[in-house]
Amino acid sequence: MKTRLNLATVPLENNRKFMTGWSLLGGLAALAFVLLSLHAYRGWRANTELRNEIAHQQSRIAGLAQRQSTLDAFFKNPQVREDVDRSAFLNSLIEQRSFPWTKIFMDLEQALPPGVRVVNIAPKMENGHLQVTLLVGALTDEGKLKFLKALEDSKVFSQIQVRQESHPQQNGPAGGGNDRVMLELVAQYSTS
């Protein structure tokens, strides 16, 4: 028979559970460290690509700003400014010449009741729309009202605004002739 004899002052303890627990915990910590490191690396790579794209866009913006300042300096030149003003003037003349005079006269002929006449027409491009200022003379208030009603019912005139109405004296200085009512109005004209 064998007897166990323990001569140690402190009895022997089994640390297997402790070592197993800490080994498992250490393995989980190492796995978490690897996963977090992988996530941080991917984030760094993505940020590197983003930083490169930002640097590219900033260099592009700087180039465009340089080009803008060059163009600004070019257009501040008095000779160039004079050429731009001249071209704007010529473009306005071309727009006036391309105005469909025949069509507007045909449309006005349909809208004019007896005793009403158009004294002046002034077309102008306003915000991409053709705006027409009309000076109209009428023999009576009834003719004026019929004309306004005909314009409102028209498909080509819209946003009609009466700017001024006057009753000149007969053969007065307003140039109205026999017209008893002079009416200035603005309307948008559709050429389509």
Predicted confidence (pLDDT) at residue 189 exceeds the cutoff of 70? yes
- CB atoms under 10 Å from CB of 183, counted, come to 20
Give the angle 48-51-55 at the CA atoms, nearest 5°.
Answer: 140
Beta bridge partners of 132: 123, 187
Q: What is the pLDDT of residue 63?
A: 95
Query: pLDDT tens digit string along 121-149?
Result: 888 777 767 888 889 888 888 888 888 88
* Token pair 């600004």: residue: 72
Query: pLDDT tens digit string along 5-35?
Result: 767 777 777 888 889 999 999 999 999 999 9
Query: pLDDT tens digit string along 50-103?
Result: 899 999 999 999 999 999 999 998 888 888 888 888 888 777 767 666 677 788
* Token pair 């700087």: residue: 62
Q: What is the pLDDT of residue 153?
A: 87
